[in-house]
Amino acid sequence: MLPLAILLALNLGIHAQNEKAIIGKQDLKLTSDLMTPEVLWAFGRVSDPQASPDGKSVMYGVSYYSIEQNKGNRDLYLLDLETKKVNQITQTAKSEFNALWRPDGKKIGYLSSESGSVQLWEMNPDGSEKIRISDIEGGITGFKYAPDQSKIVFTKEVPLVNKFESLYKDLPLATGRVLDDLMYRHWDEWVDTYSHVFVADYDGKQLLNEVDIMKGEPYQAPLKPFGGMEQVSFTPDSKAVAYTCKKLTGKMESLSTNSDIYLYDLTTKKTTNLTEGMMGFDVAPSFSPDGKFMAWESMERDGYESDKNRLYLLNLATGEKIYATEKFDQNAGDLTWTPDSKNLFFTSDWHGAYQIYQYNLKNQKIDQITEGLQDYHALALAGKLLITTKQTMSFPSELFSIDPKNGTATQLTFTNQNLLEQLAMGKTEERWIKTHDGEDMQVFVIYPPHFDLNKKYPALLYCKGGPQGPLSQSFHYRWNYQIMAANDYIIVAPARRGVSGFGQAWQEQISGDYHGKSMQDYLTSIDEMAKEPFVYKERLGAVGASAGGYAVYYLAGNHDGRFKAFVAHDGIFNEEAQYLETEEMWFENWDKGGPFWEKDNKVAQEVYAHSPHKYVDKWDTPILVIHGEKDYRVVFTQGMTAFNAAILKDVPAEFLYFPDENHWVLQPQNAILWQRTFFSWLDKWLK
* pTM for the predicted model, two decimal places: 0.95
Supply the pLDDT for residue 284: 98
Q: Would the pLDDT of 3 be above 50? A: no
What was the pLDDT predicted at 25? 82
Query: How far, CA to CA in Å, does 329 sit from each of 255, 286, 324, 503, 512?
Result: 27, 22, 11, 5, 22
| Residue, of 221 and 23, whose pLDDT is higher | 221
- Do the domain assignments include residue 334? no
- Residue 455 is assigned to a structural domain of this protein: yes
CA dihedral sign of residues 70, 629, 606, 590:
negative
The two beta strands, 260-265 and 271-273, are antiparallel
What's the pLDDT at 115? 85
Q: Please tell me the total number of residues recorded for the chain in this structure.
A: 687
Alpha-carbon distance of 584 to 633, in angstroms, equals 8
Among 70, 102, 132, residue at a domain's last position: 132
Tell me the average pLDDT across 260-285. Answer: 98
Exposed/middle/buried for 594, CB within 10 Å: 0-12, 13-18, 19+?
A: middle
Q: How far apart are CA 354 and CA 475, in angstroms?
A: 13
Dist. CA 240–CA 233, nearest whole Å: 9
The mean pLDDT value for 579-604 works out to 97
Q: Does any domain span residue 679?
A: yes
Residue 520: helix, strand or coil by DSSP? helix
**In a 3-state reduction of DSSP, which class is residue 634?**
coil
Question: What integer pLDDT is reported at residue 57 of this predicted model?
Answer: 98
In a domain, 239, yes or no: no
Q: Give the containing element (helix H, strand E) for 482.
A: helix 481-486
The domain boundary residue, chosen from 105, 132, 159: 132
pLDDT band at 72 (very low <50, low <70, confident <90, very high): very high
* pLDDT tens-place string over residues 213-255: 999 999 999 999 999 999 999 999 999 999 999 999 999 999 9
**Mind listing the pLDDT tens digit for each residue in 402-445?**
999 999 999 999 999 999 999 999 999 999 999 999 999 999 99
Share of the chain above pLDDT 70, in %: 97
- C-beta of residue 498 within 8 angstroms of C-beta of residue 468: yes
Question: Residues 458, 491: contact at Cβ < 8 Å?
Answer: no
Is residue 141 one of the residues assigned to a domain? no
The mean per-residue pLDDT over the stretch 29-54 comes to 97
Q: How far is CA 352 from CA 21, 41, 244, in A?
A: 40, 25, 29
Q: How many domains does the chain have?
A: 2
Provide the sign of the torsion angle of the four alpha carbons 496, 499, 505, 510, taken in this order. positive
pLDDT of residue 167: 96
Mean pLDDT computed over 540-552: 98
Please write down the HEC assignment for all residues of 111-174.
EECCCCCCEEEEECCCCCCCEECCCCCCCCCEEEECCCCCEEEEEEEEECCCCCHHHHCCCCCC
Mean pLDDT, the chain, integer:
95
Which of 101, 132, 163 lies at the terminal end of a domain, its last residue?
132
| Chain centroid offset of residue 38 CA | 23
Decide if pLDDT at 16 tops 80.
no
Evaluate whether residue 71 is within a structural domain. yes
**315-356 tens-digit pLDDT:** 999 999 999 999 999 999 999 999 999 999 999 999 999 999
Residue 387, in any domain of the structure? no
Enzyme catalytic residues: 546, 631, 663
Question: Residue 366 phi/psi, 5° resolution?
Answer: -110, 125
Given pLDDT bands bounded at 50, 70 and 90, which one contains residue 10?
Answer: very low
In-domain check, residue 579: yes
Predicted pLDDT of residue 21: 67
Residue 118 belongs to what domain range?
1-132
CATH number assigned to the domain comprising residue 546? 3.40.50.1820
Is the pLDDT at 539 greater than 50? The verdict is yes
CA atoms within 13 A on the CB side of 436: 14
The pLDDT value recorded for residue 20 is: 57
Give the residue among 597, 372, 599, 603 at the shortest CA–CA distance from 510.
603
pLDDT at 22 (0 to 100): 80
Q: Is the pLDDT of residue 551 over 50?
A: yes
